[in-house]
Structure 1
């Protein structure tokens, strides 16, 4: 469980995420300047403090040497001490017995420390007592002189540091305010293209006008963002156009079978209401009419399935897997024979492994066989061949029909396209377009040519894949056993 200590950072994070990018940039700029000023103040204060300390200590040493020279000439007990100037420097002489002499009117210094006493006794030559060693705010320098010692002291004055810190505080506040204003200005200038981009995107969302592109301005990341959005709008525009064409073509293709189906049903209903169904239609006519109705319903079912397949486009829940294309072809042939029992298919397939979606590939092969079955004469089988050719799996389906006219070759794989010679045959013109899409999705190529039997030869080239290792070893073992 997270305690109260974890709620503060989360709330701050949520607050920060709700701020605009302009506000974030302003806060970041002001914070960066504040941190820079604080660090600069700390460094400058430390350097200034050290410089003042060194200067003060040098001055104490210089004054002590002058007084020590006088004390050595006249003796520490008789040396003439300079009068107290009223502020600044303080002096004191330490006699051999530990007593002290100070100028008249000078404020009392702190008692002589033990270390300073040892200097007067000759234990060491000098001693600089730092700030934190005395409680009265003095810096005292002790120097051996004759049979005693002299001391020069100064009151520690922090006022220059305090004035410097106050000045730096004012400068820091001005810098933070200026930094916030500069950050706000820079953010407004830098984000102006994004504001215009946002306004253009809102306009497109409200007007639904995908043809209104966004002006390409700015540079670097902004320009790439605008180009990406324009590319997205172009893709949406193409998708909408494709949907509209699909709907228009579907409505056109559905009109004929629906009209025929409606007329036949209306005829049956009218005759049944009159009670003349048996007398008006002979048994053969009724059989033909019912067969026509069944064929029209089957055509509508096929068209609906193909429209669904086309409308789904590249969206598929099927996973890509390593598969033997020969198994896919055999399954498609089995389905084709179950749908059209009188179709004859001649197979010549070898095992070729590919990486793909089995259901989609089977649908493509089935469409190729169905297309060939419509054109092939009853006494001529549809020939299906599968082989490996270089790094490709080659599938060929040919028929002995009339073939495809040269003017129709370029549009064979277009949606709803049907040659003039195919107008009277069942079909929607979507089968080969589905083949084209499946082959493209698998990185292959679909082509059409004339077969040696005079009909159409539809060829599909797919990238071949390596055979799985266990199967390869088994195939090699079977080959060795056969030898």
Structure 2
């Protein structure tokens, strides 16, 4: 029983959802007009019925007073009754003995009711009542006159109400049909911008032309929708442009190490085929060439890893967590020392809590240390300092190298950008770009300046977080309330 009860509404909901917006608006408009016509019909019927009944009752009272006055003068038994049907009303006289007089040829009225009999006996006042005859319904008014009473009656005429109902029905059908047409036209006119917007979006999807902005369609919700789609297209254009630039820059950066690697490998293959490898390349030269090949392969591996990291839409799939930034810095320094045993790093890291992704932050700090390690002299260690300043965690990495030229400062965080003095050194030009992306994703900022030792000072600021609440620990048998 419950299943069949709920199945109907679900079917209607599914049917309704499959309709187009234009059809929905048409149905809603027609339904609203039909409901309005129905309510108007009910109200008009009640008002008209009440007015007609009041008019009929007033007329019956007036006619009964005239007949009662005649009966008072001539007596109930001798009063002359108006002929039927000339007066257009039905009359009856109730005598003192309970008998009645009616005009000749007049249709029989319903029998005298007990309430009307009490009026004739003088027990009750005048009475207005609705009575049903054999075939018709009557409205009967009884008024005391002499030692009896007079009655004036009218047929209950529902003709005007029926005519009104038929007229309202015809008018309602016309209004519903007109409302459906008007709703359809309004829906077509109102949804025309949506249709043009849909056509423009389909055209963009088919042609893949993201430069074709959708024209503005006036104001209100349509304008906001158009602006949102145009903003989305602009974001897609920027993303595609960024991908194109990344591919072009990657191809350019990969070209040089791949060419060098190919030439060295071809040289080894050619000498080996001739059988002159040992004579043409002494052991020292061969070792140096193999070392160069190893360095080039390592550089390509690093570049491929950095390109993969940079091409991601997000920093990583790891979750954000509350962590002590000092632990991240120490871990990055440890990795830097293991990767380059000759690098010297001096660490001064105070505990500062931040909310972030530990692996991404460690990669950013490692890139900063690697960058500084390329420039700092062997006798001058890279200095890494971490402290809290207000509501920020500030990380500074500086070296004692030549520093960054003023002309290079605006582009030092651009992808693949390498200053003239850095092009002879190993690297891809992606390290600092990754640093800026990680810092931006954590709501921080990174800047470059000149350190007190004359080298470069890279400064990272991240929003600090409140440290976690300490967890109370109790020994066995200890009462926590005592502490």
Specify the TM-score bucket, using the shorter chain as the normaliser: over 0.9
Partners of 1:245 and 1:58 in 2: CA distance: 95
Q: Structure 1 residue 137: deviation in Å?
A: 0.9
Instruction: Return the TM-score normalized by structure 1.
Output: 0.93
Q: Is the 8 A contact 2:326 2:349 kept in 1?
A: yes
Q: Structure 1 residue 467: deviation in Å?
A: 2.2
How large is the Cα RMSD of the aligned pairs? Answer: 2.1
Partners of 2:131 and 2:23 in 1: CA distance: 47
Partners of 1:109 and 1:100 in 2: CA distance: 11
Q: Which deviates more, 431-440 or 65-74?
A: 65-74
> Closer, same or farther in 2 for the Cα pair 1:87/1:181, shift >3 Å?
farther
Q: Which deviates more, 76-85 or 444-453?
A: 76-85
CA deviations on 1:254-306 (whole Å, 9 max, x unpaired) are: 11112222222233333334444344433323322222222222211211111
Q: Is the 8 A contact 2:309 2:315 kept in 1?
A: no
2:411 aligns to what SS in structure 1?
Answer: coil
Q: Is 1:119 equivalent to 2:116 in the alignment?
A: no
Q: Is 1:37 equivalent to 2:37 in the alignment?
A: yes
Match of 1:479 in 2: none
Match of 1:232 in 2: 232
Q: Is the 8 A contact 2:110 2:131 kept in 1?
A: no
Q: Is the 8 A contact 2:316 2:360 kept in 1?
A: no
Match of 1:391 in 2: 391
Partners of 1:156 and 1:87 in 2: CA distance: 17
Q: Structure 1 residue 429: deviation in Å?
A: 0.7
Match of 2:480 in 1: none
List alignment gaps of at least 5 residues for structure 2.
Answer: 474-483
Instruction: Return the TM-score normalized by structure 2.
Output: 0.93
Q: Structure 1 residue 116: deviation in Å?
A: 1.4
Q: Is 1:434 equivalent to 2:434 in the alignment?
A: yes
Q: Is the 8 A contact 2:447 2:458 kept in 1?
A: yes
Match of 1:198 in 2: 198
Structure 1 stretches of 4+ moved >4 Å: 131-135
Match of 1:301 in 2: 301
Partners of 1:290 and 1:229 in 2: CA distance: 55
Q: Is the 8 A contact 2:315 2:360 kept in 1?
A: no
Match of 2:460 in 1: 460
Q: Structure 1 residue 373: deviation in Å?
A: 1.0
List alignment gaps of at least 5 residues for structure 1.
Answer: 474-483
Q: Is the 8 A contact 1:110 1:136 kept in 2?
A: no
Q: Which deviates more, 258-267 or 92-101?
A: 258-267
Q: Is 1:366 equivalent to 2:374 in the alignment?
A: no
Match of 1:348 in 2: 348
1:108 aligns to what SS in structure 2?
Answer: coil
Partners of 1:322 and 1:184 in 2: CA distance: 58
Partners of 1:315 and 1:326 in 2: CA distance: 20
CA deviations on 1:21-70 (whole Å, 9 max, x unpaired) are: 12211111111111111111111111111111111111111111111222
Match of 1:218 in 2: 218
Q: Is 1:10 equivalent to 2:10 in the alignment?
A: yes
Q: Tell me how many residue pairs correspond in the alignment.
A: 474
> Closer, same or farther in 2 for the Cα pair 1:92/1:413, shift >3 Å?
same
Partners of 2:313 and 2:362 in 1: CA distance: 16
Match of 2:270 in 1: 270
> Closer, same or farther in 2 for the Cα pair 1:278/1:249, shift >3 Å?
same
Q: Is the 8 A contact 2:109 2:133 kept in 1?
A: no
Q: Is 1:137 equivalent to 2:137 in the alignment?
A: yes
1:130 aligns to what SS in structure 2?
Answer: strand
> Closer, same or farther in 2 for the Cα pair 1:437/1:134, shift >3 Å?
farther
Partners of 1:118 and 1:101 in 2: CA distance: 17
Q: Structure 1 residue 147: deviation in Å?
A: 1.5
